Chain A
Amino acid sequence: ETGVTQSPTHLIKTRGQQVTLRCSSQSGHNTVSWYQQALGQGPQFIFQYYREEENGRGNFPPRFSGLQFPNYSSELNVNALELDDSALYLCASSPATSGTYNEQFFGPGTRLTVL
């Protein structure tokens, strides 16, 4: 069974640029959530995708967007990067959607640095 993988591992961008982060879900999982973890803080929920549709969003502006593909892999896109976007971005998959008590399986994260 393959776990959750994320790419790239590290990324450096400058303010105003756009970035795309990628995630492959654990086999058999159809729900993907993305989190932003700033240094010294807990993960903050960005959004969740279930069967290629966004079905929940946290307090993040529209310049944070995503996609989920038929194979349940996912992308997180961030436009007009700001310095405060520097963080570890975590992808987590689970076997079902909201309203359930399933735990999430996290990838190792992508460390984004915005200069």
Chain B
Amino acid sequence: AQSVAQPEDQVNVAEGNPLTVKCTYSVSGNPYLFWYVQYPNRGLQFLLKYITGDNLVKGSYGFEAEFNKSQTSFHLKKPSALVSDSALYFCAVREPGGFKTIFGAGTRLFVKA
């Protein structure tokens, strides 16, 4: 069965510093991996996805994520955090050929000015 783990409930970082939000997954075969962001009282917004190819994926708002097959990880990164990046971040996985997207529990990111 597919699953996603986000080991940190909360990540705190100072504005201008690099940020990392961690995600590990378990799925049969090669996964499709996604990151979404949720602002208060809003639905989820797509940030980026990994399907195949280059392990470093670039997405919206300067975010990127690195796929590591051996460690079954897909960590979200940004070189320089902004206060406006403060939000709830969700990692998600889908099996190729599957219909269900499984989301992690979310990581709350706080960026302090």
Interface residues of A (CB under 8 A from B): 4, 33, 35, 40-45, 48, 55-56, 58, 90, 92, 97-99, 101, 103-109
Contacts and interface: CB of A to CB of B under 8 A. Distances in A.
Contacts of B34: 103
B29 interface: no
Nearest to B88: A42
Q: Give the interface SS of chain A, mostly helix, strand, loop or mixed.
A: loop
Nearest to A90: B43
Closest 4 pairs between A and B when the two form their complex, measured CB to CB:
A56-B99, A98-B99, A106-B43, A42-B103
Interface of B: 4, 32, 34, 36, 41-46, 49, 51, 90, 94, 96-106
24 contacts: A33-B101, A35-B103, A40-B106, A41-B105, A42-B4, A42-B105, A42-B106, A45-B101, A45-B102, A48-B100, A56-B100, A97-B99, A98-B97, A98-B98, A98-B99, A99-B97, A99-B98, A99-B99, A103-B46, A106-B43, A106-B45, A108-B41, A109-B42, A109-B43
Nearest to B34: A103
Given A56-B100, A101-B96, 13 more contacts: A33-B101, A41-B106, A42-B106, A45-B100, A48-B99, A58-B100, A90-B43, A92-B43, A101-B49, A101-B51, A104-B44, A104-B46, A108-B42
